Amino acid sequence: MGYYPLMLDVSRCPVVLVGGGRDAEHKLFSLSDAQASLTIFAPKVTSAMLDIIQKHHLVWHQRSVQTTDLRGIRLVIAASEDPDDNRRVAHMARQAGVLVNTLDDPEHCDVMATSHFRRGHLLVSVFSGGLAPGVAKTLGKRLEALVSPQWSTLIERVNLLRRQLRAQDTSFAQRRQCLSDFVDQNLPDLFKQTPLAQGQVALVGAGPGAIDGLTIGAFKTLSQAEVVLYDRLVHPSILDAVPNLATRIHVGKTPGVATPTQTDIQEQLVHWARQGYRVVRLHGGDPFLFGRAGEEILALREAGISFQIIPGLTSALSAPALSGIPVTLRNVSDQLAIVTAHKASEKPNWSWLPHFAGTLLILMGMSTLEEVIRDLEANGRSADTPAAIVTWAGWEEQAEIRAPLAQLAAKAREHHMASPAVIIVGEVTTALGPRPAAPSDH
């Protein structure tokens, strides 16, 4: 094995990533964590890759890479799902004098990626010479559970002491001995860290929008996860809380894209847990409000897998709050109902509505908005009833409209409102008047 371990500062040298599938997605997560100066070549990319591309304003060319694209490039990572195309890219890179890393093909690699994780300035790598990357990854995950954030603090303290000793004009031998003694004195406390139990699943609510809506319990669980299966509506900033070495699997439903079935998701939860991993099933909002967490619990119980539940803030309540709309208000509304306009096999049943005078919070209703409004009016809601729609609650793209029920669909079309959205029907939408804009508003 002729490998010499070095660290490459990818923020200073241009890197090309070729590929748009799951393997390229894993590469992109690591490269974006390292703040790489990155260009991506792929006709299509996964939805998770698209989120990262947009978040970090990366360059994405929807075509194959060509020799002329490699001018000024220092590193090429060939990670497409076609081994022949990866070898073509590797040959092209070598002809151009550019270092290349090829997915699962050591013979066509000039450089090899390691399994690694970060703790501040500390970066720990595990390398198998390309012979058994799965072994290196598993070992890296076990090590990651043992290395607490305090290791980064120790590095900062050692660096400070090192500078102080240099300022005192001490000899190299004196500095080395002093630093060694300092580290030895502090290591015992760091090694007291105990990893959590293995082989468990946590059903976690991610809340609406960015990471500031995540509960402390959810954050702690994510920071210790080894495998994370996450929905489409989980904000990219929340995935930043996931450890570097964790396996991230996008299982959300994306229109027009082949996505895993609920059975697939449940089988993956059982599979990873039986391998001894700490697994997180990350749901947008709250796992139990019109989600599939109940089915996942049944599957886990049947398989004998232990699990925990960490609730999240539901968009049904957060969206109105983020728009300054109280869902209940003294002398205005002392009841609320949360309903879904999406049914697996039949239309929603609104027969109870004439006997209900409170606030309606309707989820998953944008694709059938006009039909929903007709049903509400047919079941006793006046066309003049105040209403509102809040889309992308908690995201940078959050938007809202307010209008009488009869005008709501037209105004939604005018403002290009689309899912994800919460439809709010009731006097509470106008009871406090329009919300004044604030500098921190999305």
Catalytic residue numbers read 231, 253
DSSP codes joined into one string, 179-230: HHHHHHHHHHHHTT--PPPSSEEEEEE-BSSSGGGS-HHHHHHHHT-SEEEE
Cis link prior to 188 (omega < 30° from 0)? no
Coil, strand or helix at 255: coil
Residue 313 near residue 285, CB atoms below 8 Å: yes
Lookup: tokens for 69: 């694209």
First to last CA, the chain: 53
Residue 373 near residue 408, CB atoms below 8 Å: yes
Lookup: tokens for 244: 């570097």
Nearest to 74 by CA among 5, 19, 2, 9: 9
Most distant CA pair in the chain, distance: 88
Nearest to 391 by CA among 409, 413, 430, 418: 418
Strands 122-126 and 75-78 come out as: unpaired
Question: What separation in angstroms does the CA of 418 have from each of 53, 240, 393, 423?
Answer: 22, 26, 12, 11
Nearest to 180 by CA among 168, 194, 192, 165: 165
Residue 279 near residue 247, CB atoms below 8 Å: no
φ, ψ dihedrals at 186, nearest 5°: -100, -15
Rounded distance between C-alpha atoms, residue 287 and residue 407, angstroms: 33
- Strands (E) located in 346-385: 359-363
